[in-house]
Amino acid sequence: MTNQEIQSKILQLREFLNSCNYKYYVLSQPDISDYEYDLKMAELQKLEDENPEFADPNSPTQRVGSDTNIEFEQVTHKYPMLSLGNTYSEAELRDFDARIRRLTDKPFVYDCELKFDGTSISLTYDHGQLVRAATRGDGVKGDDVTANVRTIKSIPLTLNKDTQYPDLFEIRGEILMPHDSFERLNAERLEIGEPPLANCRNAAAGALKTQNSAAVAKRGLDCYLYYLMMDTMPTDSHFESMQMAKSWGFKVSEHIKRAENISEVLDFIEYWNHERENLPYDIDGIVIKIDSMSLRQQLGFTAKTPRWAIAYKFKAEEAASPLLSIDYQVGRTGVITPVANLEPVHLAGTVVRRATLHNADIIRSLDLHYGDTVFIEKGGEIIPKITRVDVSKRVAGAQPVKYIEKCPVCGATLVRNEGEAGSYCPNYQHCPPQITGKIIHFVTRKAMDINCGEATIELLYKQGLIHSPADLYDLTAPQMARLERFAEKSAKNFVESVRKSTQVPFARVLYALGIRHVGEQAAKNLVKHFHNLDNIINATIEQIAEVNDIGYVMAESIYQWFRNEENLSMVCRLQMAGLQFASNETEEDAAPVSDRLAGLNIIVTGSFATPQRRAELEKMVETNGGKLQSGVNAKTNFVVAGDKPGASKIAKAEKLGTKIISEAEFLAML
């Protein structure tokens, strides 16, 4: 392919993938299979890797984000980001309507929209390209979060080419975390011993401010746009501007309703007050806006809010029920979660029997007493939370709830670290739910992927056969076959699956150890940085904290974990069982790392001392900042040639006058 052919192929693939993305994430109408999509994406990725001169931050390949720490820059909004006046009452809504009618005698319509409960964002597009995404900040200045926003699949990076979008405009909307993403995130947090997040709004705002865009890409964020802004608008109608934005590629809610008068507005509010239960994301009200841009301009703003719009906020749906008792659950890392048992009560379409109380601080701030009638509310979570107590129903002499001081299972005195809201059981070596919890975590698919369920682990523990993950590697098939629910074949399968797990890569082994705060990504980063277990054990807290995305708290947790005798002896047994405690990339580790080849396009061709040696040399190009190419072109700076180099490559290099060097010369450059 000529350079021009490559470029046009790249552009064609990008356009194709952008349109697939739009159909999938904006219209929810995919028309190709995931497999086909992945193939095209891989094809584009390969072409971009081989032809770095055609790189583009808005290419669909860039949606995965990057691991480098982002420092957010402050940017000034072209148009300030104001908030809305809000109300909970119908009377105030009628006042709002009357006020407008006093200020104008022309007829007008309202647009009613869902008030998305996320975090607001302002996107700038220049000639169809996303150039900036900024948070609201203080309304005048916000944070530049473009790198993170690029990973949100429903936000177009490039607009639909065959539409008439304006050259330069801003569009505002809300970034939100849908319920399914939120539940997945909280399940992951619990897995690594971190407290669950309280609601989807906090989760969305937190994710957007993460300093690692690759992590944001995994959060499953979504974005609805609701406000087009530019110096000269393409239409006087907000409703029409939103339909235009939709055609350019933006996700615009289908639940926008034009209302002729305030009673139609109230109907819309009434409808969504119930129907919001069925939405896959949170809304906290309805926004009512004047449709006409010229009328908006005439009405203007007060100091902080526009006169042409108002937010009606829903009162959270709640139910009241008597508190029956409190259970204290002990997690894998010893974290205690208090859960209230309630008299069953209907709330938002389900019967609720339990509500989370999160931690001791929450119980205290609620001033909860035994036997109290409590109000519960549903956020994005399946388990509702207790929001307040109906003090009028408290019986005389009721005692305040006293938070447990000892572990409900093993009796150890609970510990509470300064600055942490929760308490935990420190007896991690002997507290049964912590022992089994750790082994269950160890065998999960993302960790050692050993084929057995929680019940098997509980059973093995009860029978006294396992106390630590290392014991799994001593179990024999005849021993297993003697257990109830096991037959000869299933016993064999189990032992085989344990044996197979010895080949699981080091990063997953490290994750499987269940060190507090260490999730899958952190384990990968640690392995990338330290390569083997000894290096991790010998590192100081400061050295660990130097690893990408690992803060001081996690570094300390890792450091302390490896200072514990029992942990070390378990690791020693796992090593003897043959588990992987080093990454396979030892050759690569030995390779120098620098930016000496930065900006250089390099090709490696021919055979070297061993087949691996060529791969090592190629890796060295990259680890020293060079770009590895697979074909010679005008941008190639030099060719590293071994024995029997590719004849056509050498011919082309000679024709273009590209330097051809030997392995020794290459090493000398480093």
Active-site positions read: 115
Q: Give whichever of 81 and 509 is closer to ligand IVH, judged by the CB atom.
A: 81
What's the CA angle centered on 558, arms 554 and 564, to 5 degrees?
145
Q: Which of 116, 125, 312, 428 touches ligand IVH (CB under 6 A)? A: 116
Bridge-based pairing of strands 627-628 and 601-605 is parallel
Residue 25 backbone dihedrals phi, psi, to 5 degrees: -90, -25
Instruction: State the binding string over 294-313 for ligand IVH (x if CB under 6 A, else -).
Output: ------------x----x--
Q: Give whichever of 221 and 466 is closer to ligand IVH, judged by the CB atom.
A: 221
Binding span for ligand IVH by CB under 6 A among 69-77, 82-90, 319-327, 654-662 = 82-90
Question: Helix or strand or coil: residue 582?
Answer: strand
Binding span for ligand IVH by CB under 6 A among 81-89, 196-204, 214-222, 630-638 = 81-89
Q: Give whichever of 311 and 639 is closer to ligand IVH, judged by the CB atom.
A: 311
Q: Which of 3, 8, 76, 83 touches ligand IVH (CB under 6 A)? A: 83
Q: How far is CA 192 from the centre of its chain?
A: 15
Instruction: State the binding string over 331-370 for ligand IVH (x if CB under 6 A, else -).
Output: ----------------------------------------
Binding span for ligand IVH by CB under 6 A among 46-54, 78-86, 527-535, 649-657 = 78-86
Binding span for ligand IVH by CB under 6 A among 29-37, 109-117, 215-223, 235-243 = 109-117
State how far the Cα of 506 lies from the Cα of 140, in Å rounded to an integer: 47
Q: Give whichever of 212 and 292 is closer to ligand IVH, judged by the CB atom.
A: 292
Q: Does 137 bind ligand IVH (CB under 6 A)?
A: no
State how far the Cα of 390 lies from the Cα of 541, in Å rounded to an integer: 48
Q: Does 110 bind ligand IVH (CB under 6 A)?
A: no
Q: Give whichever of 117 and 191 is closer to ligand IVH, judged by the CB atom.
A: 117
By CB under 6 A, what part of segment 200-219 binds ligand IVH? Answer: none
Partnered with residue 158 across adjacent β-strands are 129
State how far the Cα of 371 lies from the Cα of 342, in Å rounded to an integer: 10
Binding span for ligand IVH by CB under 6 A among 64-72, 110-118, 342-350, 444-452 = 110-118
By CB under 6 A, what part of segment 223-282 binds ligand IVH? Answer: 226-227
State how far the Cα of 214 lies from the Cα of 609, in Å rounded to an integer: 37
Q: How far is the CB of 306 from ligand IVH (least distance, A)?
A: 5
Residue 532 is classified by DSSP as B
Q: Does 640 bind ligand IVH (CB under 6 A)?
A: no
Residue 585 backbone dihedrals phi, psi, to 5 degrees: -90, 45
Q: Which of 14, 77, 115, 627 touches ligand IVH (CB under 6 A)? A: 115
Residue 537 is classified by DSSP as H
By CB under 6 A, what part of segment 572-631 binds ligand IVH? Answer: none
Q: Does 666 bind ligand IVH (CB under 6 A)?
A: no
> Is residue 339 within 8 Å of 357, Cβ to Cβ?
yes
Written as six digits, the tokens of 565 are 């005798």
> Is residue 433 within 8 Å of 330, Cβ to Cβ?
yes
What's the CA angle centered on 273, arms 269 and 277, to 5 degrees?
140
C-alpha distances out from residue 186 to 117, 146, 557, Å: 18, 25, 21
Q: How far is the CB of 453 from ligand IVH (least distance, A)?
A: 43
643 burial (CB, 10 Å; 0-12 / 13-18 / 19+) is: exposed
Q: Which residues bind ligand IVH (CB under 6 A)?
A: 82-84, 113, 115-116, 120, 174, 226-227, 287, 306, 311
